Homo-oligomer: A and B are copies of this chain.
Amino acid sequence: MQILLTNDDGIYAPGIAALKRQIQDLGNITVVAPDIEQSGVGHSITFGHPLRVREVRLHDELLGYGVSGSPADCVKLAIYEIMDKKPDIVISGLNMGANVGIHILYSGTVAAAVEASIMGFPSIATSFEITDQYADVHDAAGAARGVIERIIKHKLPRGSLLNVNIPSRPSHQIKGIKVTRQYARDFKETFDKRVDPGGKAYYWLIGTNKSIHHEEGTDISAVNEGYISITPLRFDLTDTGLYHKIENWSWEGVPLTATNKKS
């Protein structure tokens, strides 16, 4: 079995190393991940400048390939240029921090899996809800391995994407696995306005206590309750209901010329 392993946090991140260690007996693993020397490249595809690939070694052992681009770039380059055989599955993570709710849309970890999924490969995004109370990434990677192995056994359909989140607790205290849907509501954060010593205002975002966001059957509730959450994701965002509504609106005679040109 050919496994492509990638992530968002960079090839030196502890999450990818821990996950690689846990899944190394499941197949031939090729690690292709962003080179952390190139940060801030964002989540999109790199067109404007060329990409570099370098072999990353640690203690003379090949760790993987570092790419000067985004997670999506890594997946494309790995499949088109780096791997000798096409992957049977693409795994992204283990991300340090949960990817649940609406923040899925802006997650590089999920972005890599989306890219693989669009290219027709089954993919799994894995994230670990790190908290101040608990952050043992090796233990979490062990839990992720159990889930990955089971998914492989069930044969994930071509182009499918599962978003897996591991709760922040020792693996022996994890209550089980729940198949969930994305929590798609507002997190209702607010701001705490303060004044700095110089008299200027600044704002802290508050409302991060995710336990208040309870909605049975969602990714966030499962993780809050101590379950591993598995959410099947699609990447077509078209709102079909709204589509049929606005298709019937009149779009005739809309003036398209600027009314007030650059002065």
Contacts and interface: CB of A to CB of B under 8 A. Distances in A.
Closest 7 CB pairs of A and B: A142-B258, A40-B40, A232-B242, A184-B236, A234-B239, A43-B106, A181-B238
Interface range on chain A (Cβ under 8 Å from partner): 35 or more
Given A102-B114, A239-B161, A256-B228, A186 B120 contact: yes
A106 B21 CA distance: 30
Contacts of A256: 142-143, 146-147, 171-172, 174, 228
Contact of A202 (B52, B104, B235, B238): B52
A51 interface: yes
Contacts of A162: 246
Given A142-B260, A154-B246, A174-B256, 8 more contacts: A42-B42, A50-B204, A52-B200, A141-B258, A142-B256, A142-B259, A182-B238, A232-B246
A211 interface: no
Interface string A45-87: 1110011110000000000000000001100110011000000
